[in-house]
Amino acid sequence: MSMADLVRAGAPELPEGYFYRVRSTNIRSLKVEIREQRRFRSRLVADTWVFERPDESAEESIVKACDRAFKGWQEADAVRASYLAVTAYLGDHDPKGGR
């Protein structure tokens, strides 16, 4: 299954340079990862467990996990952006206006 197939099934589309990886774990479960492609390797940016339910198809379970991973990634980016905005105020603030 390609990323285009996942997106057609309802998974969020990722920006250029990012991809989904569905992998098996040691505890007989699946994980969905969002990874950033680098020159030689890829870097994990978000992941979540796949919850398999008897009333859902495998595709639905994977798409829901892709959606959760994407939302978690976006929330983490918002927190990071907020932190970077606050760091502009780091340092001493001279009450006389500085010299």
Q: Does residue 57 sit within a domain? A: yes
Which H helix or E strand runs over 91? none
Q: Does residue 94 sit within a domain? A: no
Q: Does residue 93 sit within a domain? A: no
| Residue 60 DSSP label | H
63-97 pLDDT tens trace: 999 999 999 999 998 998 999 999 988 888 878 77
Order of strands across the sheet that contains 30-37: 18-24, 30-37, 42-49
User: Looking at this protein, which amino acid is placed at residue 49?
Assistant: W
Q: Does residue 15 sit within a domain? A: yes
What is this structure's pTM?
Answer: 0.78
85 token code pair: 């905005």
Instruction: Determine contact, residues 80/46, Cβ cutoff 8 Å.
Output: no
Q: Does residue 98 sit within a domain? A: no
Q: Does residue 99 sit within a domain? A: no
Q: Does residue 75 sit within a domain? A: yes
Q: Does residue 68 sit within a domain? A: yes
- E-strand spans in 1-99? 18-24, 30-37, 42-49
Structural domain boundaries enclosing 67: 3-88
